[in-house]
Amino acid sequence: MIILVLNAGSSSQKSCLYSLGESIPDKPPEPLWEAHLDWTVAQAGGILTVKSNGIKQKIEVKERDTALKALLNTLVTGETKVLENLDNIDVVGHRVVHGGSQYSQATVITPEVKKAIADLIPLAPNHNPAHLEGINTIEKILPEVTQVAVFDTAFHGTIPDAAKVYPLPYEWYEKGILRYGFHGTSHEYCAKRTAQILQQPLESLKIVTCHLGNGCSLAAIKQGICVDTTMGFSPLEGLMMGTRCGSIDPQIPIYMMQNYDLDADKINKILNKESGLKGVSGISADLRAILDAMGEGNKRASLAFDIYIHRLRSSIGAMVASLNGLDVLVFTGGVGENAKLVRAKTCESLTYLGLQLDLDKNNNNPVDANIATEDSAVKILVIHTQEDWAIALKARGQLLRGF
C-alpha cells in the first residue's frame, strides 16, 4: 500500500510517502520520499526541500496555490522520482489540528468532514485553513483517492469531565467551550513507543509525555488512555511556548482591552504571536537563540528560560497528580529531543518522585533511549516523535476497514 502523508502548518507543509506490506514493522521505516515546504524562508515565495533516493534538492516555489502540485510533481519526475504515476497512491492521510468533540478517531474525509473542519477554523485559524487547502488540492489532482483526516484532538477525547469541563456556566460547555487538547498524534505515538522501548505493556504504565517545540503541551497517560493535558479549548492554554504565553490570569486581557484601547485582534496577536520566549526575551521564539543569549549574559533571555522551566516543572507536577504516580517521563518535539539543558533543569526538581537523570546519557544526543540512572524509580525517555508515521498507520487502517 502506498500512503501519502500531508502535515500542513500555517507556514509550512511536511510530507512523506510510505510503502507498507501486510505486516507493520516495530520501528518506523525511512519514508520512500519526504518533502518540506517552508513559506518563511524566501520573501517572494517558499522553498521546497525534497529528499529521496539518497538525493536532496531545493526548489523555489512562487505561488501558494500551485505549491502542493509542485510538491507532488517531485514524486513522479526528476531525480527524486519514486512513483510511475500519482495514481499509484492508495490513500492520503492529513494531520488536522482541530476536530472538535465530534471526531474521536481517524475519519475518511467526506463533504460533512470538510464542513466540520471549516466550521472549526475560528478555533484553529492558523492550521485548519491549511488542512482544507491540502484536502481540496488532492481532490482536484487525485479525485478518486481516499483521503483520511487524523485529528490532533482525537487522543484527548478520553479526558474525564472533571478535567474537560471549564468552571463556567454549564451552558457554555453545551455550546462547545471545553478542553480539547492538541498534539494528540505525537502524544499517542510516544506512549506506544515508550512501551516498545521498555518492553512493557502500555496498559501497565503511568506516563507523562512532554511535547516541547514552538508549541508545547503535556499529556498524562494511564493504561494507554489520556486522562489530562495542558492545552485546552485552544493551543494557547498551558505551558509557556515560543510565541504563546500559555495560561495566564484571564482578567489580564480584559484589563488590557479596557485600559489600553486594544481590540480582540490585537489581544489575539499579543497572546499568540508576541508572547512566550519571544515576548519575554525580546530576542526570539527559538530556544537555541535564547540559550546563546544566556551564554552572553543576557538577563531577559535568562528570565525567559527560567519562566519556561518553572511552568514546565509545575505542569508536570499537575499531570503526575492526575495519574497518582509516575512510571515514565518522556521528552519529545524539537526542544524536548534536542535541548539537554531543558531536560536537566526539568528533572532537577522532580527528584522527590525518585527520578534520577544520568547526565552523561542526557548529554550524549539520546534518541529513543532511557536517560535515567539505573537506580531511578522513574524512567526518563527521549523519543523522536514521528507523527507522519502515526498518520500513515491510521490512514492505512481506515482503508483496510473499508471505512
Q: Which residues are marked as active site? A: 152
How far, in Å, CA of 267 to CA of 281, rounded? 19
